[in-house]
Amino acid sequence: MSKASDPEVPLSRAFVLEPMRALQRTAHAAVMERLAAAGYPEVRVPHINLLAYVPRGEGTRMGSLAERLELTNGAVTQLVAHLERLGLLERSSDPTDGRAVLVRPTAAAERGYDTARRSLAEIEDEWAARVGPRRWATFVGVLRELTSPDPGGM
């Protein structure tokens, strides 16, 4: 059997990223449905992705958002401007660096965060019930190990 380090990986190989993306699409669809029902009908997946990186309270710099989302500064500026028009984000100068811009969630975004978090908790509870508590705990543990910044600390 071929290993990933082999020069020729078979075209028929199924990669784990596709089912991971399918889980993310399922979660996004459910979150968007609940957000729409809660009064956020214009929020889409790119908005959810961006808002996931805007900490409650303190906010974050636009440059950090671009880096974390792997988008250009211009693309992030467009997303933030749209969310600002929706009343979900506000921009201000960073008091520690006048050249930098901070993005913070508004009170309306805070209510949306609560809706999204409840939705994600319900989704995870459904998945855990589907596969059983032991397998769910193993799945979550493996994901945490794989995403740990310190592989030696596993």
Question: For 38-61, what is each residue's pLDDT tens digit?
Answer: 999 999 999 999 999 998 877 899
How many structural domains compose the chain? 1
Within a domain: 33: yes
Within a domain: 122: yes
Query: What CATH number does the domain containing 51 carry?
Result: 1.10.10.10
Within a domain: 48: yes
Within a domain: 120: yes
Answer left, alpha or beta for residue 90, where phi above 0 means left and psi between -120 and 50 means alpha: beta
- How far is 122 from 142, CA to CA, in rounded Å? 21
pLDDT at site 4:
57
Within a domain: 95: yes
Within a domain: 98: yes
Task: Spell out the residues 6+ positions from residue 82 whose beta carbon is closer than 8 angstroms to its own.
Answer: 47
Q: What percentage of the chain carries pLDDT values higher than 70?
A: 93
